[in-house]
Structures are given as C-alpha cells and as structure tokens.
Amino acid sequence: MDDVVLLTDGWAPIARTIIVTTATYVALVILVRISGQRTLARMTTFDFILAVTLGSAFGRVVTSTEVGALDAIVALGVLIGIQWLLILLRARVRAVGALLTPRPSLVYHDGRLQPTAMRRHRLTEDDVLVNLREKGFGSFAEVHTIVLEPDGDFSIITADNVGDGQALEGVRDH
C-alpha cells in the first residue's frame, strides 16, 4: 500500500513530466512537419494505424517514468521513418502499393447500386444516400457514378462530368 500515490509524488515527477512532454511534443511536431502533408491529409487505413501508434507512443512517454525523452523521440522518428520508407516502396513496387492501399471501389454506376461492392464494404443504401446529401445531391438520379475511395470518402461523378471515364480506370468493379 506504500506505493499508492493519489495526487503527486513530489515536484520532481511533475517537472519530469513537463520537460519530457514538452520535448517529445516539439519533436513530434517537427517530425510530422518534416514527413510532409501526407501525414495530415485524409487518412487511409495505413495512415490511421500510424497516427494511433504515434499517439500511443506519445501517451506512454507522458505517463511513464521509465521512458526518457530521447528514447521517445527516437521511437517517433522510427515510426515516421517506416511510414516514409513504405510510401517510397509503394510508389516504386506495385505489389507493395496494392498491399498498403486498397483500390477505389465502384458502389453506384449508371443507375444501379453495385451489390457486390456494397457487401464487400458493408455499406447500405442509406450510407450512400447520406454521402449524396452531404455533397449536395438530392437523389441517385442526379449522379452517374459513386466511388468509395481508399480513405473512406465517396467521390460522386455526374453524367455531365464523366467524360471519357479516364478517372475510373483502376477502380475496382469497373
């Protein structure tokens, strides 16, 4: 029972928390800034996992007396470095790209919902209608194609804007 600390164990742990949290936070901001805007853009599953991992590592540093600021900064740098390396590999090696980033998927085309894609992504008609409304459309009759993008967002293409369909190349089920 002697190890229980209800409020604080003195000023030294508080000072340590302030110093380590500040140093690690500044380092995290710098590392994310160096890694580029992609880290802050709309997230794919891969980006989300990195964000959660960074948050977890940062949280551990803030609350642990066993992890020093330099250890945490190195860990954060390694995580961002791994992301950067995988992004480079994804751009250069098609198989890595396919593994890390799912292809966009056609969920509505030419007047019909695509049931295979809807089941694969566990979407309902109501899910698609919500996105139509959010993008300013009143019904399916106003659109030609709806694509579920890798980041979970929906792209909506009207018949006036479909053109030759080049933007749909690489879309799954098209």
Q: May I ask the CATH class of domain 105-168?
A: alpha beta
- Model confidence over 125-165: pLDDT tens digits? 999 999 999 999 999 999 999 999 887 889 999 988 878 87
Residue 11 DSSP symbol = H
Residue 73, C-beta contacts closer than 8 angstroms, at least 6 positions apart: 23, 24, 27
CB atoms within 10 A of CB 6: 5
Residue extents of the structural domains in the chain: 11-99, 105-168
Distance CA 13, CA 171 (A): 54
pLDDT tens string 91-126: 899 888 878 777 889 999 989 999 999 998 899 999
Cα–Cα nearest to 65, from 158, 147, 108, 3: 3
* Residues 59, 61, 62, 66, CA torsion sign: positive
Which pTM does this prediction carry?
0.63
